[in-house]
Structure 1
Amino acid sequence: MKGAKWFKKSLIVLVSALTFGLVTPADFNWLGEADSAKHPEKDLQEANSARYGASVQNVNKNIEEELFSQNDFIQNIVSKGEENAYCKFGGKIKPKIQAEFKAVILPKMEAAIAKMASSHQEEELRQLAITENPASGRGEKIFHIYNENNGEDIMRFHVRQENPPQEGYWFNFHYHTYHDQFAAHHDLGRIYWDKNTPPKWSSQGMLS
């Protein structure tokens, strides 16, 4: 390659000298063009390779954005759902069951939300939101996931106080889905309270 370039330069200088400058280096552009014409297949391969590389990068970028968006949605809902749960528990119930709720119930809640999210497109997930006010008193509602465009619920996460004979009081965590008009109970787990009746939800103040 170096020899070829040296030969071209020498040829240009020689011709310019013999023609007393009537032929300029610009007139030798045909040499470069001719050289390029010798390798059309190589140029085509390089161009195709560049286009293919750019295409792969775009596909990978789109996949990463989709996965990140779905994961971001799940984490956001779970985080807000956990806040709703603690708000519902109140100052009297939260200290006693928070650790078990976080270790046992919350991971199952996250798995249920992830399963739901996997069946929806990214654009659909952007339309979903979480309710902010859990039910107080003896109400079961922790939070609902709903479509902001039409106000319809997708999932309902609830907790029910149970008192089986001779077993004391339990908190039964479960959820419902729109697939069966929220009829079936999908179990998330139970947390034991005490033999005594638990305080109402959202009751404030620590237990003595």
Structure 2
Amino acid sequence: MLRKNGTEKMHVDMKTRSMTSGCLERSVSWWFNLDVGNNINSSLNSLPLHPDVAHLEWLLGHWESKTLGQGTYPTIKSFHYHEQANFTHCGQPLLDYAFYAFHGDTGRPLHREVGFLRPRAGTDQIALIGAQNTGLSIVEEGEVRGKEITLTSHSVSRITFGKEPRVVKTKRILSLDQDGKLRQCFSMATSNQEMRPHLEITYCRKMP
């Protein structure tokens, strides 16, 4: 007899799905084997890298800032921050990415962004599809030139109750220097400011 809260029904449905598809139990155990803390999944990264993202292999791994990044903009007080950056793959023709920023003095969590880098096969073109905890959803497009990626926003969407002024355009550059350090420069324009530099930070790779 089913309880009113549906708990027993859910258990039965889950068991049925597991028996019929043979996929549920495997998918659940696979998920809990993920190293969520670093967003690095060795079982996924052991898959062959898709040929369409072979030219982005220099991005793969877990990166951390050793020196403070700098945040500036005319409408806010300047600040310093640390950030973790993760780039992974699962054998598909794209990379997963995540940025987690923390206040340089207090360690308080700040900006968080997750998404995908998807190149256009056979070309230098690339797109970034990202979502941010600030309520923004951004599609940026640009080019890969060696070990440098330049991206400019194609569309910027935000939640209806987001704060003003709103972001209307973005630009970012990801580049690897001769010392093997990853650098990110991020600029933006808002509803009351022209395109200006906003964030700049350098990362060191922690995991290949």
Task: Looking at secondary structure, tell me which structure has more helix per residue.
Answer: 1
Larger radius of gyration: 1
Q: Which protein, 1 or 2, shows the higher relative CO under an 8 Å CA cutoff with sep ≥ 6?
A: 1
TM-score between both structures, scaled by the size of structure 1: 0.24
Task: Looking at secondary structure, tell me which structure has more strand per residue.
Answer: 2
